[in-house]
Amino acid sequence: MRLTLVKRLLVGAPMPLAQARHERLGKAVALAVFASDPLSSVAYATEEILLVLILAGSAALSHSLAVALGIAALLAVVVISYRQTVAAYPQGGGAYLVAKDNLGIFSALTAAAALLVDYVLTVSVSVVAGIAALTSAVPQLHPYRVVLSVLAVAGIALGNLRGVRESGRLFAAPTYFFVVSILGMVGYGLIATALDLLPEAPYEPHPPGLEGIGLFLLLRSYAAGCTALTGVEAVSNGVQALKPPEGRNAQAVMTSLGVLSIVMFLGISYLAYDFGIIPGGDETVVSKIARRVFGTGVPYYCVQAATLLILVLAANTSYADFPRLSSILARDRFVPRQFANQGDRLVFSNGILILSGFAILLIVVFAGDTHALLPLYAIGVFISFTLSQSGMVRRWLRLREKGWRWRVWVNGVGAVVTGVVLLTLAVTKFGEGAWIVVVVIPLLVGVFMAMRRHYDEVAAELSLEGLEGPPEFQHTVLVPIGDVHRGVVRAVQYAKTLAPTATVRAVFVETDPARTAKVEEKWTKWGLGVPLVVLTSPYRSLLRPLLDYIDQIQSRGDEQMVTIVLPEFLPRRWWQHIVHNQTALLIKGALLFRKNTVVADVPYLLKR
């Protein structure tokens, strides 16, 4: 009862199923829910580019703008491609459904595994990066970054357990606060630079490097900056969470997401290039830009607070999509069916809890270090990008709908470009930890296939096809007793009501002949006419003689059904269980997987 009250306090009252349609999201709130991840990625994508380029020396940082422009072009291609995906598949499901429909089940499961892995990483990376923004502004909190990250994940999970619309409203304000803050910083930074209003930049020591850059390092920096694209597919996975017309609203959200992400990413990259920002240390690149533009006044702390909030809440994109994709996989019998069940608040609670658990595990294992987690990031999402766009190419070539020629080109370019980036990511990040993702995804696909095979085998065994008339059971009811008391009498009463034609017997395992006589004497008076079978046990085992007796009965044929009625008295207080034998528990455990055997518990609740 107390647990129920706590749950109601934290999560809220249950919602009727009829409320589901009213939980749909409008475009403004949907942008906050689904775009918080790609929008937040701009807060660290530029930094990842610079951290790779600086390996070749400070002169190599001059290439950062060209790399950023290439990533922005790729982002535009992916957004346009996914607009077509949303139009073609308004039922949602994203890369999984597109690949399943056009490329086959193995490709679909690969896309699903990649997305599920990436969603877990999104939560971990976003939260850890948000806490890094906090510790940049307040360095005294740096030793507590893991604890703060875990608390942030727990808070976001709780918000999502309260419901889709409620969590969307909760997270909308921080998303738009971040957009306004970054655009304000970029806009003022550009104007102030043009008008020479900024004070002279403090000298930053340039770390030594190779003082030369090759193609491989450029590709590494490009791959590192492609974290800016993570989360772009989220809208296509959650189309059904939007208000009607779902497809058109999802396309509008995709367009807004693309425009805002590109403008903000290029703005931050240009200011970092123009200001000659050197990455590294305990301060983020965005913090260094904001400090250069605004000094240490209120606007600086507004940018840091907005960055903290958006990065932490960017995890909400995964909370919107991980449970939804898991529910689709559950309906297709590739993951446990519990993932398809909606909780009291019309959300997929099991998916939310599993996502939170894995994200917290990663944060703890990698000690809350953003740069340790990022090499694992983006591999999964680019696998899904490539498979989704390839599936769309196959669809246009197969159906040849109106405008299919130019649509093939759009999705074809998207598939080729994201495929090239995927290979680049796999090669450049493999030794840094990406091998973990490369190994985990095939393992997940194997688990999915095993799960589906299990469900298919169960369905085949339970099928009524080819079933002849069921045999008539010969029913034997056994009541194991260790003594004769009120609980035993009650159990015998119950046993006699199970079936009029059943054979009812009490079974006593003899370990002490002197005690047997006392039990038989009591049974004559209180046995209610039920015969008592005494089984001898020379080695004082209670279970073995009983199991042998059941085997003897069931050896007569497959139609022999045995029901074990267990009399069990229950003490009022938990500690009192310790001082009593748990014979009933042992019998239940021994009989759990026996064929044609049913166990019924008849509890007798003690008053004190």
Helix (H, G, I), strand (E, B) or coil at 603: strand
123-171 per-position pLDDT tens digit = 888 788 778 778 877 888 888 888 988 998 888 888 777 765 555 566 6
For residue 593, count other CB atoms closer than 10 A to its CB.
Answer: 7
What is the Cα–Cα distance from 76 to 32, expressed in whole angstroms?
A: 19
The per-residue pLDDT for 1 is 47
What is the Cα–Cα distance from 603 to 591, expressed in whole angstroms?
A: 18
Running DSSP on this structure, what letter comes out for residue 511? S
Rounded alpha-carbon distances, angstroms, from residue 25 to 152, 319, 320: 24, 15, 11
Q: Is 292 exposed, middle or buried (0-12, 13-18, 19+ CB in 10 A)?
A: buried
CA neighbours within 13 Å on the CB side: how many for 276? 11
Q: What is the mean pLDDT of residues 376-391?
A: 85
The owner of tokens 């000690």 is 367
The residues spanned by each domain of the chain are 2-11+24-371, 474-605
Running DSSP on this structure, what letter comes out for residue 402? T
Instruction: For residue 312, give the nearest of 572, 125, 176 by alpha carbon.
Output: 125
70-79 per-position pLDDT tens digit = 999 989 988 8
pLDDT higher than 70, residue 572: no
Q: What is the dihedral of CA 71, 73, 76, 81, to 10 degrees?
A: -100
End-to-end CA distance of the chain: give it in Å, rounded. 22
What is the Cα–Cα distance from 413 to 271, expressed in whole angstroms?
A: 30
Indicate the pLDDT class of residue 105, thresholds 50, 70 and 90.
very high
Mean pLDDT (the chain, rounded): 82
For domain 474-605, give the CATH number.
Answer: 3.40.50.620
What is the Cα–Cα distance from 115 to 30, expressed in whole angstroms?
A: 20
What kind and span of H or E run contains 601?
strand 597-605
Helix (H, G, I), strand (E, B) or coil at 320: helix
Contact (Cβ atoms closer than 8 angstroms) between residue 229 and residue 378: yes
Q: Which stretches of 442-596 are assigned E, i.e. beta strand?
A: 474-481, 503-510, 532-536, 560-570
Tokens of 332: 């297709």
Tokens of 236: 């296509």
Instruction: For residue 164, give the nearest of 54, 362, 316, 281 by alpha carbon.
Output: 316
Q: Which residue has the higher pLDDT, 383 or 434?
A: 383
Q: How far is CA 501 from the centre of its chain?
A: 52
Instruction: For residue 358, give the nearest of 37, 110, 122 by alpha carbon.
Output: 122
The per-residue pLDDT for 390 is 92
Q: Which range (314-323, 503-512, 540-549) has the least confidence?
A: 314-323
Contact (Cβ atoms closer than 8 angstroms) between residue 122 and residue 354: no
Contact (Cβ atoms closer than 8 angstroms) between residue 348 and residue 167: no
Contact (Cβ atoms closer than 8 angstroms) between residue 581 and residue 540: no
Long-range contacts of 423-428 (CB under 8 A, 24+ apart): 424/219, 424/220, 424/222, 424/223, 425/223, 425/226, 425/378, 425/379, 425/382, 426/379, 428/216, 428/219, 428/220, 428/223, 428/224
Phi and psi at residue 510, in whole multiples of 5°?
Answer: -85, 120
479-492 per-position pLDDT tens digit = 998 888 888 899 99
Q: What is the mean pLDDT of residues 198-205?
A: 61
Dihedral sign of CA atoms 525, 531, 536, 540 in order: negative
Dihedral sign of CA atoms 121, 123, 128, 129 in order: positive
Instruction: For residue 488, give the nearest of 540, 528, 515 by alpha carbon.
Output: 528
The per-residue pLDDT for 130 is 77
**Burial readout 101-117 (b: 16 or more C-beta within 10 A, e: otherwise):** bbbeeebbbbbbbbbbb
pTM of the predicted protein model: 0.75
What is the Cα–Cα distance from 583 to 445, expressed in whole angstroms?
A: 43
Q: Which residue has the higher pLDDT, 340 or 495?
A: 495
Instruction: For residue 317, give the nearest of 231, 378, 230 by alpha carbon.
Output: 231
**Burial readout 193-214 (b: 16 or more C-beta within 10 A, e: otherwise):** beeeeeeeeeeeeeeebeeebe
CA neighbours within 13 Å on the CB side: how many for 316? 36
The owner of tokens 């079978």 is 533
Indicate the pLDDT class of residue 542, thresholds 50, 70 and 90.
confident
Indicate the pLDDT class of residue 185, thresholds 50, 70 and 90.
very high
Helix (H, G, I), strand (E, B) or coil at 566: strand
Instruction: For residue 362, give the nearest of 202, 153, 74 by alpha carbon.
Output: 153
Q: How do strand 503-510 and strand 532-536 relate by DSSP bridges?
A: parallel
Q: Which residue has the higher pLDDT, 122 or 231?
A: 122
What is the Cα–Cα distance from 608 to 599, expressed in whole angstroms?
A: 27
Running DSSP on this structure, what letter comes out for residue 498? S
The per-residue pLDDT for 202 is 59
Q: Which range (302-311, 368-377, 546-555) has the least confidence?
A: 368-377
pLDDT higher than 60, residue 421: yes
At the topology level, CATH places domain 2-11+24-371 in Amino acid/polyamine transporter I (1.20.1740)
The per-residue pLDDT for 167 is 55
Phi and psi at residue 346, in whole multiples of 5°?
Answer: 60, 35
